[in-house]
Amino acid sequence: MYKRLVVKIGTNVISRNDRLAEDVVQDIVNQVVGLRAQGIEVLLITSGAIATGKGLVALHGASATAERQVFAAVGQIGLMSLYSKFFDAKGHRCGQVLVTKGDFRDKQHYANMKSCFENLLRENIIPVVNENDAISISKLVFTDNDELAGLIASQLDVDAVIFLSSVNGVLKEEVTIPEIREEDIASFERYVTDTKSTGGRGGMLTKFAIARRLMAHGITVHVVSGKRGHVLIDIVEGKPLGTKFVPTKKISAVKRRLAYSEGLSVGVVYVDAGAEKVLRSGKSNSLLPVGVRKIEGEFKKGDTIEIRNEAGKKLGYGVAQYGADEAGILVGKKGARALIHYNYMVISD
């Protein structure tokens, strides 16, 4: 039985013709309330703000960036109003959390965000999360809300992520593949295309990549049609719907977060061949300054930094045990304390 879920709702699930599909939103809310009655905590990651805004505002001659900002700012109000109305009708409260990719880079923002989610859940308030599209217009934009769902799942002690999509999972010759196990996932890649959903930024290729990463860190993933009624309840009850990605192991919350550090690190440490071999050995080895060739970036203690070999190939990520100034002084020196402790490091396969 799952105890904590992340549910991501796609744009094409929640909207029709640039307007919110109220019946779909109401059905999802009713299911979430039903899960809460079973003691299951749910975080909703919802798309739909921009699509909703398009149905409320007519713009003339605006740039693509301006359209995104205005539609998101106006549409987010309508989106949350609907969630609030339906949750209130069931005697439950929901709370809006808008985030940017930069929030996952900043140590304090990350801690504050995690604390916010935990506090809402403790008070039996359902977090409703979306990217802050009104201000997320730089290179620090999530690939889509699928990526955001994966980041939040890695941040919290989540058992499973459910992607409510416009398609019913991974298809092989138009038939849904019911289950993909972690050890077999490579053999299913050929069935996944990079076709994007109409109105959204995501697609099955993105979901497959995120599912692969989440599985590697002990989180089950479901990709299922969001148009089907009662779908969340049925999944929790174990009914075979959509495609289920099944992991084989569990890892710590810290390493889950580090596994999702692509584009979020604030510095780089380059290691020599000896250090690379030690880190790739699979043993519990920390990164010592003696194996460091050089560092880049102005990072502080507690920041996430990328680990690369001498050729510049990414090896993984870790949490700096001290800042860039001290690290620069200790580069190549024996006997110095670890720059990255094993418990706060993830090395890619």
Q: Which residues are annotated as a binding site for ATP?
A: 8
The residue to which tokens 């001659």 are assigned: 61
List, in sequence order, every residue forming a beta bridge with 95; answer none if it has no partner. 127
Q: Residues marked as binding for substrate? A: 47, 133, 145
The pairing of beta strand 220-225 with beta strand 243-246: antiparallel
Residue 250 is which amino acid? K
CB 321 within 8 A of CB 274: no
The owner of tokens 């800042």 is 323
CA–CA separation, 194 and 51 (whole Å) = 22
Three-state SS annotation for 150-184: HHHHHHCCCCEEEEEECCCCCEECCEECCEEEHHH
| Exposed/middle/buried for residue 128 (C-beta within 10 Å: 0-12, 13-18, 19+) | buried
Q: Helix (H, G, I), strand (E, B), or coil: what is residue 270?
A: strand
Which residues are documented as binding site?
8, 47, 133, 145
